[in-house]
Chains A and B, each alone.
Chain A
């Protein structure tokens, strides 16, 4: 159980275009999803916290108008990189936290990641 998928797994786009990445929890409901990015040989850095039905909370230094996040349902969050530039090339990974009515262990399950290359 607790499977998270991402689509696409890899995308190459031209500078100036927008790219949408989907993150889905396949077998559970997720009230909270997180978006991270990872540069080569670097650790994962949190970009934003996505809560179902409300606006995302962005980390300091992350442009909310550039990285649009939508969490319209309990199983889907999307990240849109608008007007992408080569410096946006990175590995984007989402995670989802199981929604439960009882004590939450806060265990997060990660998607397989999306490799974005902006030419």
Chain B
């Protein structure tokens, strides 16, 4: 059974710092991996999607990497801002298209000004 773990559970940093969020999964047979942002009481916003054949994706100040063989992904946030404060969720899909996502518990990030 696939399990997704995110470390740390919470993180507080001052504005401007670069930071890394970690995600690990137990079964390397995944179709893809997605990183999401969730604000309190809100739905999910997709940040980055990495296919199983890819090693990284970049969008603005965000960079996500994937090491499928070791079951790890990282989300790198450069020059953090208070507006980045949210919960970041990592999710993997089972090894075929059209399947649901399995989520980690998330990392709650707080960026202070």
Contact = CB atoms under 8 A, between A and B. Distances in A.
**Would you call the interface of chain A mostly helix, strand, loop, or mixed?**
strand
A46 B1 CA distance: 14
Interface string B65-79: 000000000000000
A107 interface: yes
Interface residues on A, range: 20 to 34
Contacts, number: 62
Nearest to A109: B46
Contact of B46 (A32, A34, A107): A107
Interface stretch (A12-20, A64-72, A73-81, A111-119): A111-119
Interface of B: 4, 31-32, 34, 36, 41-46, 49, 51, 89, 91, 93, 97-106
Given A93-B43, A106-B32, 4 more contacts: A31-B98, A44-B91, A106-B97, A108-B101
Give me the 10 closest cross-chain CB pairs, A-B, nearest first.
A112-B43, A110-B44, A104-B97, A43-B105, A43-B103, A113-B43, A44-B103, A46-B100, A34-B100, A106-B97
